Structure formats: C-alpha cells, structure tokens
C-alpha cells in the first residue's frame, strides 16, 4: 500500500529518534553451560568480552557498579556535547538472565536511579520516576541466550523495561552447536524467537560465519534459512565472523583441531553474499567484533571491514534491501522529500508481521514500524518498534487530503492502528521504553503494565 505526501512545511517534528546509547557492563561470571569454544573472558571480565574493550575498561575502573557506570557515562556524554535526554541502555556481558535474581533487579534499578538522579525505594518507583526524568530510558537492550527466554524470563525482561533482546544464534545447526559447545539446540532458537516476538520485543541475532564445523557454502545455506523459514526472521543482525581470541577455549585448541578462521578475502565475500540475502525488514547493526589486535591469536584484525564491504556493494550497483544502507542518515544523495508509506507483510513465528516504512521515491528510509498480529487464545496486535530517522532534517509534513500536520511517527502509528482495526483486534499494544510512555500517552495510549495500549473497537 502506498500513500504520497505533498511538499513539506518547515516545522520540526517531535520524534523518538536521536537516542544516545549507554552501555553498562555486568560483573564477571561464567555461563551456566560452560564456555562456548570461541568465547573469551569470564574470570576478571564478563564472559564474551576482553579487558581492552572501552566499556569493560570503564566498568573495571568502577568495580562494575551500575550506578557509577551510568552516572560517569552521562557526565562524559554531557561534557562531549551529546544529548542525554533519550538513552538506550545496553546491558552487556555474559548472560544477564542467569545472574541471581536479586542482582538482576538491583542492577537495573540502580541504572534507573542514576538516570533519575535520585534513589527510589524499588524498581517500580524508579521506572515511574524515569517516565518524566531528564535522562529518560527510551529503550533497553539485554543480551541473552536462546535457552533463557522462557515465558517467566520474558516476563522479567518486560518488568525491567527492556525493549530489545539480542540472542546468540551463531549458525542454526545442532552439529555446529555441539562442536562449539553452545549448550542449546536450534529448537531453543525457534522457541525463543517466537516467545520474544510475541512479547513485543525487537529481536536481534548474533551470527558467526566461519565456526569450527562450518565452511563458506554451509554458512550461506544456514544464513538463507534464517530468512527463508518463518521460524526465524529476526529484525536485526550482528555479523561476527569467528576469530581466535586470547583466553578462549579455541585459542588453546585451534591447532589440535586444525581450525583455520576465514581470510579477509573470504570474509568479505561471505559478508557481501549475506548482505544480498537480507530482506527489507532487517538491519545489520554491526559487522566484526572489535577485539583489539593484542587479543587476537588468529583471524581478522581489520576492524572496519564493514566500510569495505558496503563500499564494494555500492560500487557493484547491486540492490541492497538491508535497512541501515537505506537509512536517511547514511545517504547524503537522493534526499527528495516525496515520502510514501509502504507496507511489507510476512509470516513470522506463527504470526503475521507488518513492516511499515516511510521512504522517498529513491527508496531512502525515513521511518519504520513493526506491527505483529497473532491469533488464538493469546492473540493480539502488538507494535514492536517505532523508529524515525533523520531528525536533523527538520521535516514537517502535510498529508494530502488531511488538514492537520502530522509527524512521521504519528503517520506510522495511525496506519498500524488501521490495519489492526481492519483485522478486528479490539486493542493494540505497544512495547514502550519507560521514557517513551509520555509520547504514547499523547497519542491516546494508556499504561497497562508493561505495555501501552489503546482500544480500537
Ligand atoms: S553463551 Fe555467550 S557469553 Fe556465554 S559462553 Fe557462550 S558466547 Fe560466551
């Protein structure tokens, strides 16, 4: 479905873009199942990280205290002139949901306390204060394992105020999981994917080409499966080719098992092929883990390989559907403002996804929304993401045939509500960062913990 907009009026639009990421790191701890073969860390630094990563170095200096980490980071960001009114809190290190419960609740509450600038009695109060605080938590990301996404664990993540969950999928193959000591199965990935999407989370997969037991052909086949099968279809990806990193089991065994990571050339070829397979609804957040050279035993050391990959794709002129390469912020050309709203519909983990995007007639992306519709006893309509790009453009818009001026966010929300209503859903749910609740209240939504909801019928 497409709508055409008239020329814009020059009026800034209140959007939910312009979010500043703030990373907090958990205290070191080993994962319950042991250690995945490629994974460093775990004793003095959190598992999966090294003591040379900037966020870990900061956390080490502050004894991994969440309050101090957030406070310190806010001060630095302020001093550097970055906006700190809208924060995306990113919880890094090991598997958060495996820490003892008391630590989990304490950790998140202390992050909110630091953003609020005052200590609350409990997590609920801290979240309430944050709804109107100066540093609002508008999104929260938790890194997790596929086998830690049970309904109970999902409820807890919602209670924390999380909006995005990233799970390690690596390559969806039970044999590779065995060889790399992942300690879970492909079925766990399928279950986690469905549970997380049903709860409204934005879902990211970490994927690792070049693992022991794989090869370039197998990697591409398995990667294809991620989008061919409706059991997977993540919203985001981090593509981390396997490297041999100091202090990992692989560093001790790679010679014995005759393991060789991909060369730079092989890696680039694979990444280009993967990019060509990614559909419109998926964004590549990162390529290559940023392990410092001194921590590398074998494998890629070119940390900015993504630039080369994207440059080569651009030069080849091949069409790429992936989100990031189409975003307004990464495109300085073809910026006409003839905006239209496109809807892409696809099956996903026993539900229907409607991916709504606002693009100009050169395909440049200005905003997107993810609407999920499920049927059955617990069926419902859930908005899993609303994201507006290009806040610096001061776009205002005037929709043809409609007298009032509308923001892009509002335009997307209205379209999503229309679709849900046509499908006879009585209400619509939004998973909302704590600090975005006010935004949705202004659009007629009410808090029905942990979601914002609006009656449609
Ligand atoms: S689950 Fe993640 S953090 Fe834990 S050992 Fe495996 S890769 Fe490392």
Ligand 1 pocket test, candidate residues 36, 178, 181, most atoms within 8 A of CB: 36
Residue 386 has pLDDT above 70, yes or no: yes
Q: Which atom of ligand 1 is nearest to the CA of 145?
A: 1
Asked if 413 and 368 count as a contact pair (C-beta separation under 8 A), the reply is no
Domain 20-325: top CATH class: alpha beta
How far, in Å, from the CA of 233 to the mean position of ligand 1?
22
Read off the pLDDT of residues 80-119 as tens digits, 9 standing for 90 and up: 888 899 999 999 988 999 999 999 999 999 999 999 999 9
pLDDT band at 294 (very low <50, low <70, confident <90, very high): confident
pLDDT score recorded for residue 299: 84
**pLDDT tens, residue by residue, 427-436:** 999 999 998 9
Taking the C-alpha atoms of residue 146 and residue 167, their distance in angstroms, rounded to an integer, is 6
Lowest mean pLDDT among 41-45, 101-105, 249-253: 41-45
Q: Is the pLDDT of residue 378 over 90?
A: no
pLDDT at 362 exceeding the cut of 50? yes
The residue whose C-alpha atom lies closest to atom 5 belonging to ligand 1 is 35
**Measured from the CB, is residue 146 less than 6 Å from ligand 1?**
no
Q: Which atom of ligand 1 is nearest to the CA of 34?
A: 5
* Residue 282, ligand 1, Cβ within 6 A: no
Residue with tokens 């035993």: 297
DSSP H or E run through 446: strand 446-448
Q: Is 145 in the pocket of ligand 1 (CB under 6 A)?
A: yes
**Do residues 58 and 77 make contact, with C-beta atoms less than 8 angstroms apart?**
no
pLDDT at 340: 94
The pLDDT assigned to 3 comes to 42
**Mean pLDDT across 261-287:** 96
In the chain, where the domains are located:
20-325, 328-455
- Point out the least confidently predicted range of 194-203, 261-270, 319-328, 397-406: 397-406
| Cβ 372 vs Cβ 197: under 8 Å | yes
What pLDDT, in 10s, does the model give residues 9-38? Answer: 223 333 334 688 999 999 999 999 999 999
The answer to whether the CB of 168 is under 6 A from ligand 1 is: yes
pLDDT score of 406: 53
In total, the chain counts a number of residues equal to 457
Pocket test for ligand 1, best of 145, 204, 251, 289 (most atoms within 8 A of CB): 145
* pLDDT for the residue 34: 92
Reported for 415-418, long-range contacts at CB under 8 A and 24+ positions apart, including other chains, are 415/341, 415/343, 415/356, 415/369, 416/354, 416/356, 416/369, 416/371, 416/381, 416/383, 417/454, 417/456
Q: Do residues 340 and 359 touch, judged by C-beta distance below 8 A? A: yes
Which pLDDT value is given to residue 10?
27
What's the mean pLDDT when you consider all of the chain?
A: 90
Atom of ligand 1 nearest to the CA of 94: 3
Mutate to test the pocket of ligand 1, among 34, 94, 245 (most ligand atoms within 8 A of CB): 94
Q: How far is the CA of 47 from the centre of ligand 1 (A)?
A: 6
Q: What is the predicted pLDDT for the residue at 13? A: 31
Is the beta carbon of 94 within 6 A of some atom in ligand 1? yes
Class of domain 328-455 (CATH, top level): alpha beta
The reply to whether domains 20-325 and 328-455 share a CATH topology is: no
User: Which of 168, 179, 243 most suits a substitution to test ligand 1, by most atoms within 8 Å of the C-beta?
Assistant: 168
Q: Comparing 93 with 276, which gets the higher pLDDT?
A: 276
pLDDT at 11: 31
For residues 368-392, average pLDDT? 88
Q: What atom in ligand 1 is closest to the CA of residue 46?
A: 3
**Average pLDDT for residues 340-367, to the nearest whole number?**
95
Split at pLDDT 50, 70, 90, the class of 390 is: low
CA–centroid distance, 29 to ligand 1, in Å, is 10
Is residue 336 very low, low, confident or very high in pLDDT (cuts 50, 70, 90)? confident
Query: Number of helices and strands (H, E) in the chain?
Result: 13, 18
Give the mean model confidence (pLDDT) for residues 393-397.
31
For residue 144, the CA-to-ligand 1 centroid distance in Å is 9
* pLDDT value of residue 391: 47
């Amino acid at each position: 479905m497409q709508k055409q907009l008239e020329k814009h009026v020059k009026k800034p639009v209140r959007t939910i873009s312009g979010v500043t990421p703030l990373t907090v790191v958990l205290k070191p701890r080993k994962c319950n199942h042991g250690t995945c073969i490629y994974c460093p860390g775990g004793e003095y630094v959190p598992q999966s990280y090294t003591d040379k990563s900037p966020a870990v170095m900061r956390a080490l200096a502050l004894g991994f205290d969440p309050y101090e980490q957030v406070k310190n980071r806010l001060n630095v960001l302020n001093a550097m002139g970055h906006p700190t009114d809208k924060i995306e809190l990113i919880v890094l290190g090991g598997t958060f949901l495996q820490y003892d419960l008391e630590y989990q609740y304490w950790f998140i509450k202390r992050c909110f306390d630091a953003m609020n600038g005052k200590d609350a009695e409990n997590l609920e109060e801290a979240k309430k204060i944050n709804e109107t605080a100066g540093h609002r938590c508008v999104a929260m990301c938790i890194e997790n394992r596929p086998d830690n996404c049970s309904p109970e664990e999902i409820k807890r993540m919602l209670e924390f105020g999380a909006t995005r969950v990233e799970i390690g999928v690596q390559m969806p193959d039970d044999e590779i999981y065995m060889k790399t000591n992942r300690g879970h199965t492909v079925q766990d990935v399928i279950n986690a994917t469905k549970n997380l999407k049903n709860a409204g989370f934005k879902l990211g997969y970490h994927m690792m080409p070049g693992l022991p037991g794989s090869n370039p052909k197998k990697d591409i086949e398995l990667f294809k499966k991620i989008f061919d099968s409706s059991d997977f279809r993540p919203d985001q990806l981090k593509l981390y080719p396997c490297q041999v990193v100091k202090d990992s089991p692989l560093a001790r065994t790679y010679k014995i098992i005759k393991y060789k990571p991909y060369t730079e050339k092989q890696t680039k070829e694979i990444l280009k092929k993967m990019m060509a397979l990614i559909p419109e609804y998926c964004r590549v957040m990162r390529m290559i883990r940023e392990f410092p050279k001194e921590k590398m035993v074998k494998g890629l050391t070119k940390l900015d390989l993504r630039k080369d990959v994207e440059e080569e794709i651009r030069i080849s002129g091949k069409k790429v559907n992936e989100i990031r390469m189409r975003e307004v912020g990464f495109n300085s050309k073809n910026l006409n403002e003839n905006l239209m709203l496109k809807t892409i519909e696809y099956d996903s983990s026993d539900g229907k996804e409607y991916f709504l995007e606002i693009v100009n007639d050169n395909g440049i992306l200005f905003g997107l929304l993810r609407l999920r519709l499920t049927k059955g006893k617990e069926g419902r309509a859930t908005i899993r993401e609303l994201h507006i790009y290009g806040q610096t453009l001061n776009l205002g818009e005037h929709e043809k045939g409609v007298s009032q001026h509308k923001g892009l966010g509002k335009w997307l929300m209205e379209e999503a509500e229309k679709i849900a209503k046509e499908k006879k859903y009585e209400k619509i749910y939004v998973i909302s960062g704590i600090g975005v609740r006010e935004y949705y209240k202004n659009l007629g939504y009410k808090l029905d913990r942990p979601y914002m909801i609006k009656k449609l019928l």
